[in-house]
Structure 1
Amino acid sequence: MMAKPAKQRRPNVIVFFTDQQRWDTSGLHGNPLGLMSNFDRMALKGTHVTHSFTCQPVCGPARSCLQTGMYATTTGCFVNGIPLPEGTQTLAHYFKSEGYRTGYIGKWHLAEEEPVSEPKRGGYDYWLAADVLEFSSDSYRTVLYDNDNQAVKLPGYRVDAMTDAAIRFIDNHQEDPFYLFVSFLEPHHQNHLDDYPAPDGYREKYTGAWIPPDLAALGGSTYQHIAGYYGMVKRLDEALGRMLDALKSLELDDNTIVLFTSDHGCHFKTRNGEYKRSGHDASIRVPTAFTGPGFMGGRQLQEQVSLIDIPPTLLDAAGIQVPPTMQGRSLMPLLTGRSVEWPEEVFVQISESEVGRAVRTKRWKYVVSAPEQDAFTSAGSMRYVETHLYDLQSDPYELNNLIGLESHHAVADIMQQRLQRRMAEAGEAVPVIDPAPVRPAGQRKVSEEEAWS
């Protein structure tokens, strides 16, 4: 029998990061297709973050938030194509300072150059990545760049090729405390095809399958693309299972934190002209679960959690002091029973499609936009207009926009206050928000008690 590696002082950390994955691809969120059996099992054994949201539904900005723990308006990376500012401290720097070996595999999207030169790699030691993976590779042509900026073509479907590379990294660092970030492109569309290329045979499995209510009602590109999208999700979940199996076989599972999450969701051209960049749950809600030290026990974390909360959580779970520059909150006090005040709402910044802001409680969603601002050059605005209000209790898929209704005036006022407070906490100036045009609402009137729920 092989000797077990020496006990480590700190746990290993792996981030399994997908791109553009809706929360309701998980069976734990009602998907009946069995797409994510490994995720569901991991979440039931570990910690399932039942209400998990991005803080920026765009690829690059979301990644800047996850790497730094700061909002995109703080780092300046508020649209795609803006590299992390020189000298920015990332998770890699914090883990490295505590003796961790750090590695990055996959999509980076924070350099605006290909290949990514060493100063723009966020401090990661081991590098096998591409800045914009959807441009450097295809579903069966995986091209990444190594530490020497040499192109490396990996065999297999892209998800499998990257998973193989991740398992090799794990195997080579069994006796080191390591932090590994694996950033997949799937289930993001392949840009030059405007399609979702699943592994051969996987699209066929899900043709004519169950469709979430918002997509069934609104259409968009759903009926063209959902089968391929589901096939990509299924292969990602199989890759997660392979990685968990590798940890178990190497006897590292008890000392390795694994996080599964995504940068944003996908609305299949139902809310605007593409797939994301809106304040709807289809764009901002993602599947999230942890396993490993500090997260075991089958916990369901019911609080609303933002992507901005993930970096301090990973550091805290590894016993590393959370820097004061991080703008999120560690989840560990919630899991250990420590007294902590947790926000009732999540805050979202939106760019590229619009200069927008959103705030969401368990019951209500409120969205504003600055139509006079250029969404690619303006990080924010001093004036917004109300655009959306949803009652998530009666309308969880956001099909009935209540903004402007006389019956919901109290809700809009309260949500506006919440939004302005959260913008100030994020370091933004408190804006003027113009009300939506008033609409009659018949006999319905929301009480103040309901409005605060």
Structure 2
Amino acid sequence: MSGKKYYFLGLILLLVSSFALKSKEGKYEEGEKKKPNVLVILTDQWRAQSTGYAGDPNIRTPNLDSLEERSVNFTNAVSGMPVCSPFRASLLTGQRPLTHGVFMNDVQLDTNAVTMGKVFTEAGYKTAYIGKWHLDGHGRLQNVKPGERRQGFQYWKANECTHNYNHSVYYDNDDPERKIWEGYDAFEQTYAAMDYIGHRSEEQDPFLMVLSYGTPHAPYHTAPEAYRNQFDPEKIVLRENVPAEMAEQAKTDLAGYYAHIAALDEMIGRLIRHLKETGEYDNTIILFTSDHGDLLGSHGAYKKQQPYEESVKVPMLMSIPSAMGILTGERDAMINSEDLMPTLLGLCDIGIPSSVEGIDFTPYMEGKAQLGQETLITCVQPFGQWNRVNRGGKEYRGIVTPRYTYTRDLNGPWLLFDNSIDPLQLNNLVGNPAYKALQARLDQRLSERLEETGDEFLPGIEYVNKWGYPLDDTETVPYTN
């Protein structure tokens, strides 16, 4: 679809959805029950395996463990395209990457997209965004200017993208002057969120706030010293799918990775205590998740984009006010990036725009529907920094169920894992005669899902050309610091 057509389609969808939501807008009358607040705690590159409650022997996360005990824990949550910007665009739009067009980093989400910020605002919410944005595509560290480029968020203390966590750039609402968070940015961003919540508790309107941390994404060794000192590389227990030749480096980097996680866990604890102190906790939906994982040596690779569990699976907790009657505990449904927006809207009884492709999991959590038996994983870009062909990267499409992961590359079947008996994904079953029928069945279902979603599975460069994205001589989108 051309940019001009997309522009007008987005505009029409926004007008239609705005009209549909008019009955749910506005101030709350005296005595009327306030809709729930929504707090999205988004981290960067935090894999599902690396929490205390998930059984990681290297890390204690007491605050997240406590949150998990009173949450719906989606143990099979995946990042459908495990890289930063695609996940974030799917979170905000409820669409898959080949629909919203952000299938690689450092490109701009269409300013006419129907987004979470716009829909919640139309429904009478005050909206806020704090931390890493990474959806503007016009050069890192730049100001995402007030207006349409902020996608409906009213309050703003954010940056496009930076990984300098101790000298972190941000912009404060309408002030065009570049500012720097003092010290470790996760601390300062948490304090800013607490300040916002404190002020909102005095108001009648509910809020939607996205608090987007940049960690535990690399550089791994930049957490404050008090947290780094908690982790001795020599004592790190590696996953058994890390090859021996990478063990020393992986242990060193994991020590720094866990230091970031320990700091974030403490900040999440402070944030939740503040919600309780301000009286907002019992009326706040808390979503904790990450945009993708980090291989950190597993399968001989680092970072993300590849279809392995350490890259694709993300932590996902939904703490929902007890008055809403949703039982807590582990759920095995395959919930994906595009499902988060419609699920939050469903929980808040806000109409879901027709542009949304994801699933509202509210009926599933209420025990009224069986959803999430399978989901798709996708990689369009075999030429990004962490997924280049010479590092084993390739385009792929895959289908994931609670038990199996099956992927196909441009040449045909690529990977098949039985995750129940091979959780470390060490035994590729593609071509195994004992699994011939299963492979054929999953391959057929993948073909059906690709047809349903209009995915032709073309070489990645064809999508880049279709959307008109420029690549530099390193085959990445150029940006400036």
TM-score bucket (shorter structure) = 0.7 to 0.9
Find the partner of 1:126 among 149, 155, 175. Answer: 155
**Mapped pair 1:94 → 2:119:** yes
**Mapped pair 1:351 → 2:380:** yes
Is the 1:188–1:196 contact (alpha carbons within 8 Å) kept by the matching residues of 2?
Answer: no
Shift, 1:308, TM fit: 1.7
Find the partner of 2:331 among 281, 291, 301. Answer: 301
| d(CA) in 2 for partners of 1:269, 1:358 | 22
Structure 1 counterpart of 2:407, which letter? V
Moved more, 32-41 or 303-312: 32-41
Matches within 5 A, 1:333-412: 333-338=363-368, 340-352=369-381, 353=387, 354-370=394-410, 384-412=411-439
SS at match of 2:242: helix
| d(CA) in 2 for partners of 1:291, 1:247 | 13
Is the 1:266–1:283 contact (alpha carbons within 8 Å) kept by the matching residues of 2?
Answer: yes
Matched with 2:169 is 143
Matched with 2:345 is 315
Shift, 1:292, TM fit: 2.9
Matched with 1:187 is 216
Q: How many residues end up aligned between the 2 structures?
A: 407
Is the 1:271–1:278 contact (alpha carbons within 8 Å) kept by the matching residues of 2?
Answer: no
| d(CA) in 2 for partners of 1:425, 1:231 | 43
Deviation string, structure 1 residues 87-116 (Cα, Å, up to 9, x no partner): 111100110001111011111111112111
Matched with 2:75 is 50
Matched with 1:415 is 442
SS at match of 1:53: coil
Provide the TM-score with structure 2 as the length reference.
0.80
Deviation string, structure 1 residues 357-384 (Cα, Å, up to 9, x no partner): 12111221111223xxxxxxxxxxxxx4
Shift, 1:272, TM fit: 6.5
| d(CA) in 1 for partners of 2:359, 2:438 | 26
Provide the TM-score with structure 1 as the length reference.
0.85
Matched with 1:61 is 86
Structure 2 counterpart of 1:25, which letter? S
Q: 1:7 to 1:260 in 2, by over 3 A?
A: farther
**Mapped pair 1:152 → 2:179:** yes
Deviation string, structure 1 residues 118-167 (Cα, Å, up to 9, x no partner): 32111110111111122xxx222222112223222222312111101111
**Mapped pair 1:41 → 2:41:** no
| d(CA) in 1 for partners of 2:445, 2:106 | 31
| d(CA) in 1 for partners of 2:124, 2:314 | 31
Structure 2 counterpart of 1:298, which letter? T
Is the 2:78–2:313 contact (alpha carbons within 8 Å) kept by the matching residues of 1?
Answer: yes
| d(CA) in 1 for partners of 2:241, 2:298 | 8
SS at match of 1:229: helix
Shift, 1:186, TM fit: 0.4
Is the 1:55–1:347 contact (alpha carbons within 8 Å) kept by the matching residues of 2?
Answer: yes
Query: Root-mean-square deviation (CA), in Å?
Result: 2.1
Q: 1:6 to 1:15 in 2, by over 3 A?
A: farther
Deviation string, structure 1 residues 170-212 (Cα, Å, up to 9, x no partner): 112112311000111100013xxxx442221322322223333
Q: 1:216 to 1:389 in 2, by over 3 A?
A: same
Q: 1:296 to 1:363 in 2, by over 3 A?
A: closer
Matches within 5 A, 1:257-276: 257-271=285-299, 274-276=302-304
- Percent of pairs with identical residues: 31
Q: 1:218 to 1:312 in 2, by over 3 A?
A: farther
| d(CA) in 1 for partners of 2:245, 2:429 | 17
Matches within 5 A, 1:202-213: 202-207=227-232, 208-213=235-240
Moved more, 418-427 or 69-78: 418-427
Shift, 1:213, TM fit: 2.9
Q: Which runs of 5+ in 1 are unaligned?
A: 371-383, 433-453
Moved more, 176-185 or 288-297: 288-297
| d(CA) in 1 for partners of 2:187, 2:251 | 26
Moved more, 217-226 or 229-238: 217-226
Q: 1:241 to 1:57 in 2, by over 3 A?
A: same
**Mapped pair 1:327 → 2:357:** yes
Q: 1:218 to 1:351 in 2, by over 3 A?
A: farther
Deviation string, structure 1 residues 327-367 (Cα, Å, up to 9, x no partner): 111111012122x2424212111133232112111221111
